[in-house]
C-alpha cells in the first residue's frame, strides 16, 4: 500500500493556562491510498513548531512509498537528510512516521506489533512510576507521596531530588537531596526500587559527589548523571562509582546507541521510540542491548500513543528491566485518546492486543483538541521538571 497523506497534528488541552509539553502532544496521521490509517507520535518539548515543520518536510520523502517497506523508507530519508544523526527534529519526525507505518502494517495483517516482531515474552509489562512527586519539596512531601504510590502496587519509583541545582551542586544541595532520598527509602522499605533522576544536568565532579552521598540508600540506577554529550565525564563517573547507570532517551540512532554500549557506559538502556527512529530502529536497540548484557527500560514520558508502542516493544524484550510510566499522571484527555485501554494495575500493564499499536485512537477527540503549533513560554522551571519541584528550602 502506498502512502497518500501524512499529517502532523498538535493536540493541546483546553484547560486554562499556557500550554506545556505535558499538556501537548504531536500526533502524526498516515493514510494510504486505499484509506488505511495509522498513528504515530513525535516529541514536543520546547520545539513544537520546528518538529511540526520537520514532519512536513520528512513527509515529502514518504508520500508515494510503500508503507510496508519501513527499512527502505527509513534509509531513504537517512540518505536524503544528511544530518539525521545530528538532528533531533528530523529524528523525531521520521520516528513518528515510522510508528504510524507499523500501525498500518499491523492493521493490514490483523495483528498487534508484538506478533510481527517475534511474539511477546510476557503477558504484563512491569512499570515504574514517574510524575508522582509533583509539588514535593520537603522530605516529608516525598515520603507521603511515595507511600501513596506503593499502595497502588508500584514496586519502583523514579524521582529527581536535586531541586534547582544545575551543572554543580554544593553541600546544601547534597544535604537536601540526601534527606529526600532517605525519606523515600524509609517510607517504602527495602523491597521497592528507587531510581534517581539527574536529568543529565551535572558535571562529573558533582555527579560523583551525589553518587557517594546516595549510594547507601541502594538506588537501582542513576539516570543521566552527567550531561548527555559529556563522554569523558561519564567515563570519570563510571570509574568512581559502582552504581548502575541508566541513559538513552536522547539517542537518535542505533550507531550512537552502540557507542554507549560498546564503551561500557550504560547498564540500563532507555531508548525512546519517538526519537530513536521509531519501531524500525528501536527493535535494533533491543538486540544491541541484549547481545551486550544491557537491560532495557524504554523512555516513555510524552503521550498515550508513545506509551502504547512502548508496551508493544516491551512485550518482545527479553532483557526488559521496567517500562517508565506517566500514564497515571497524564491529563485525562491523554488517556481518553486511547479510550483508557492501557490502565496500570498493581504496577503492571496488560499488553494490548488490537491490530497495529494495540489500541484504538479516538479520532473525534483529536478533532476537538486540534490546535495550531505555537511556541511555548520559557519559565524559570524548565519543561522537563515535574511541576512544583524546582524549589529548594532552608536547612
Q: Give me the catalytic one of 199, 227, 228, 348.
A: 199
* Residue whose C-alpha cell reads 484527555 in the numeric block: 333
Cα–Cα distance for residue pair 108/105, rounded to 1 Å: 5
Secondary structure (3-state) at 380: coil
User: Where would I find the H helices in the chain?
Assistant: 48-62, 70-81, 88-109, 113-116, 139-151, 171-188, 204-214, 231-240, 254-262, 278-291, 304-315, 332-336, 363-369
Burial class (CB in 10 A: 0-12, 13-18, 19+), 230: middle
Catalytic residue at 299? yes
Cα–Cα distance for residue pair 252/282, rounded to 1 Å: 10
Q: Give me the catalytic one of 198, 227, 228, 299.
A: 299
Catalytic residue at 75? no
Point out the residues that are catalytic. Answer: 199, 299
Amino acid at each position: 500500500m502506498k502512502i497518500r497523506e501524512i499529517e502532523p497534528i498538535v493536540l493541546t488541552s483546553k484547560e486554562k493556562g499556557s500550554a506545556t509539553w505535558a499538556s501537548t502532544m504531536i500526533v502524526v496521521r498516515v493514510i494510504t491510498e486505499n484509506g488505511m490509517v495509522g498513528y504515530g507520535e513525535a516529541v514536543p518539548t520546547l520545539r513544537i513548531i520546528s518538529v511540526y515543520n520537520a514532519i512536513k518536510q520528512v513527509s515529502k520523502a514518504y508520500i508515494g512509498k510503500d508503507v510496508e517497506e519501513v527499512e527502505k523508507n527509513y534509509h531513504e530519508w537517512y540518505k536524503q537528510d544528511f544530518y539525521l544523526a545530528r538532528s533531533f527534529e528530523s529524528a523525531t519526525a521520521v520516528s513518528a512516521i515510522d510508528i504510524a507505518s507499523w500501525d498500518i502494517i499491523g492493521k493490514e495483517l490483523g495483528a498487534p506489533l508484538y506478533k510481527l516482531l517475534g511474539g511477546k515474552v510476557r503477558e504484563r509489562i512491569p512499570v515504574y512510576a514517574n510524575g508522582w512527586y509533583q509539588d514535593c519539596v520537603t522530605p516529608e512531601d516525598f515520603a507521603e507521596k511515595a507511600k501513596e504510590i506503593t499502595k497502588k502496587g508500584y514496586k519502583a519509583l523514579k524521582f529527581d531530588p536535586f531541586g534547582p541545582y544545575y551543572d554543580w551542586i554544593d553541600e546544601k544541595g547534597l544535604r537536601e537531596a540526601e534527606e529526600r532520598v532517605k525519606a523515600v527509602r524509609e517510607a517504602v522499605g527495602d523491597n521497592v526500587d528507587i531510581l534517581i533522576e539527574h536529568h543529565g544536568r551535572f558535571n562529573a565532579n558533582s555527579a560523583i559527589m551525589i553518587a557517594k552521598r546516595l549510594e547507601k540508600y541502594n538506588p537501582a540506577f542513576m539516570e543521566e548523571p552527567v550531561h548527555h554529550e559529556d563522554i569523558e565525564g561519564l567515563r570519570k563517573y563510571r570509574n568512581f562509582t559502582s552504581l548502575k547507570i541508566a541513559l538513552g532517551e536522547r539517542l537518535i540512532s542505533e550507531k550512537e546507541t552502540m557507542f554507549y554500549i560498546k564503551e561500557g557506559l550504560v547498564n540500563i538502556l532507555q531508548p525512546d521510540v519517538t526519537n530513536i527512529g521509531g519501531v524500525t530502529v528501536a527493535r535494533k536497540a533491543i538486540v544491541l542491548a541484549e547481545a551486550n548484557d544491557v537491560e532495557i527500560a524504554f523512555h516513555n514520558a510524552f503521550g498515550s500513543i508513545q506509551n502504547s508502542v512502548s508496551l508493544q516493544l516491551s512485550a518482545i524484550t527479553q532483557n526488559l528491566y521496567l517500562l517508565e510510566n506517566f500514564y497515571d499522571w497524564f491529563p485525562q484527555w491523554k488517556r481518553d485518546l486511547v479510550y483508557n485501554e492501557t490502565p496500570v494495575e498493581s504496577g503492571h500493564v496488560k499488553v494490548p492486543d488490537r491490530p497495529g499499536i494495540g489500541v484504538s485512537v479516538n479520532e473525534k477527540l483529536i478533532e476537538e483538541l486540534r490546535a495550531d503549533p505555537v511556541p511555548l513560554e520559557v519559565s524559570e522551571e524548565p519543561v522537563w521538571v515535574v511541576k512544583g519541584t524546582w524549589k529548594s528550602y532552608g536547612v
